[in-house]
């Protein structure tokens, strides 16, 4: 069973945007370790998303 790469990318980007919102809530509640984790995840997703474009 294969995955549609575009659908998978859209799903991961949606999760990354959700993680940004999670990080904001964590910061508001002084849960900085959790916020750091969500921010790291978001940066990772956006970086991986950009890698193929860097080689075009």
Distance, in Å, from the CA atom of 1 to the CA atom of 46, rounded to the nearest integer, reads: 26
pLDDT tens, per residue, the chain with 56 residues:
567 878 887 888 888 889 999 999 999 999 999 999 999 988 988 888 776 665 66
3 state SS of 9: helix
Assign 3-class secondary structure to 15-49. HHHHHHHHHHHHHHCCCHHHHHHHHHHHHHHHHHH
* Claim: this prediction has a pTM higher than 0.85: no
In contact, 38 and 26? CB cutoff 8 Å: yes
Q: Which two tokens stand for residue 54?
A: 């860097």
């Amino acid at each position: 069973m294969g995955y549609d790469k575009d659908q998978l990318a859209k799903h991961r980007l949606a999760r990354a945007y959700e993680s940004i919102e999670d990080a904001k809530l964590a910061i508001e509640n002084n849960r900085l370790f959790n916020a750091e984790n969500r921010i790291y995840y978001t940066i990772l997703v956006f970086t991986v998303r950009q890698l193929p474009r860097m080689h075009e």
